[in-house]
A and B are shown apart, each in its own frame.
Chain A
Amino acid sequence: MTAIQILLIAGLALSAIYVYLKFQSVIADAIILLLFIAAGIIFVLFPQLTTKIANKLGVGRGTDLILYVCIVFFLFVLIRMYARIRKLEQTVTKIVRDNSMNAVVKNEKEKARN
């Protein structure tokens, strides 16, 4: 095994353990995670596989195919995260706005009482 293969497999395995521990997953999640990691490890140990699949899809190299898939995947993740941040921003705005209006109402009630 080459050095990069050891590094990649170690990285994948550690990520899997981290995700499983951090997110308190159920069995189904663990199985899905295992499948992804297994696929990752297989491609690391047998890079020729990626090339075969890539050729079938019309891509020259296996690594190129992995790159393309990663780009699309990351784009999807980025868009989803941006949407969530935007939603969060709107929630914060609503809370701050409501607080500011409630404070004024409270002040006006106190002024009226005095």
Chain B
Amino acid sequence: MENSSVYIIVPVFNEGFTIRKVVVSLLEYGFSVIVVDDASTDNSYSSIKDLNIHYLLHEVNLGQGAAIQTGIEYALTKGDAKIFATFDGDGQHRVEDIMEMITPIEKNEADIVMGSRFLPGAFSNASFIRKTAIQTARIINFLFTGLWLTDAHNGLRVFNRKTASLLDLKENGMAHASEILFRVAKYKLRVKEMPVHILYTDYSRKKGQSIFNGIKIFFDLVFNRIFD
């Protein structure tokens, strides 16, 4: 199976510093790359516009969840798209990990493969506070979805067309990560976790999630369940 039938969705908001490096390394593997620009105000676009990518632009900022959903909907219109992936544009993810995660999808052993920082073989230089926050998020995810995973809100995911067409994310903000799990549980999709490398740099740490974001995500999940 050709790597070009693997469509990587990279949601971008002001990642001008890292996005070109990320996209170039993805293209080196022969993947098809979809960049969804969520109304960045920096040089994100100009730094990658010469590259052979699919580029979609949100004219106003909607949120990472919305950007991913746009990327997924666009990828679904591509007839040659067999495998889909979400990948962060800030350089935290390792491209080699995608190759490992494709295998269970290819062999039809799983519908969605999620990266985990906490499986044997994984690596992440996360701080203690962040690790604690993730453990809390795991528990909240379990309460909302019934899925007990080793990681929470890991942006590196690989999934098949069936999963892509079932996702239909309504959460525009960071709560989309939990919404994905919710759909996985609802449609009984086969989920598998695999160890990945996450590299926190000073740059990405600044853009990372704070405790406040976690609380906001929780309230988004609770209130939006009532109204959808």
Binds B, one of A19-27, A59-67, A88-96: A88-96
Chain B residues in 8 Å Cβ range of A97? 58, 66, 69-70, 73
Our count of residue pairs bridging A and B at CB distance below 8 angstroms stands at 41
CB–CB A86/B227 < 8 A: yes
B66 — nearest CB in chain A belongs to which residue? A93
CB–CB A82/B69 < 8 A: no
Q: CA A99 – CA B60 in complex, angstroms? A: 11
Chain A residues in 8 Å Cβ range of B59? 96, 99-100
CB–CB B66/A103 < 8 A: no
Task: Select which of A83, A89, A104 is within 8 A of B74 by beta carbon.
Answer: A104
Question: Which secondary structure dominates where chain B touches chain A?
Answer: mixed
A104 — nearest CB in chain B belongs to which residue? B56
Task: Select which of B58, B73, B227 is within 8 A of A96 by beta carbon.
Answer: B58
Q: What distance in Å separates the Cβ of B84 from its nearest Cβ neighbour in chain A?
A: 16
CB–CB B54/A93 < 8 A: no
Chain B residues in 8 Å Cβ range of A90? 170
CB–CB B66/A101 < 8 A: no
B69 — nearest CB in chain A belongs to which residue? A97
Q: If the complex has contacts A82-B227, A83-B227, A86-B227, are A93 and B172 also in contact, measured as CB distance less than 8 A? A: yes
B63 — nearest CB in chain A belongs to which residue? A93
Instruction: Tell me, yes or no, whether B224 is within 8 Å of chain A by CB.
Output: yes
CB–CB B54/A104 < 8 A: yes
A99 — nearest CB in chain B belongs to which residue? B59
Q: CA A103 – CA B77 in complex, angstroms? A: 14
Q: What distance in Å separates the Cβ of B52 from its nearest Cβ neighbour in chain A?
A: 11
Instruction: Tell me, yes or no, whether B62 is within 8 Å of chain A by CB.
Output: yes
Chain B residues in 8 Å Cβ range of A99? 59
Instruction: Tell me, yes or no, whether B212 is within 8 Å of chain A by CB.
Output: no
B-contacting residues, A53-112, CB 8 Å = 82-83, 86, 89-90, 92-93, 96-97, 99-101, 103-104
CB–CB B227/A101 < 8 A: no
Q: CA A83 – CA B227 in complex, angstroms? A: 6
CB–CB A101/B56 < 8 A: yes
Give 7 pairs: A residue, B residue, CB < 8 Å, sorted on A: A89-B172, A96-B59, A97-B73, A99-B59, A100-B57, A101-B73, A104-B74
Interface residues of B (CB under 8 A from A): 36, 54-60, 62, 66, 69-70, 73-74, 77, 170, 172, 223-224, 227-228
Interface residues of A (CB under 8 A from B): 82-83, 86, 89-90, 92-93, 96-97, 99-101, 103-104
Q: Could you list 14 further interchain pairs (A-B, Cβ under 8 angstroms) beyond the known A86-B228, A96-B59?
A: A86-B224, A86-B227, A92-B60, A96-B60, A96-B62, A97-B58, A97-B69, A97-B73, A100-B56, A100-B57, A100-B70, A101-B74, A103-B57, A104-B55
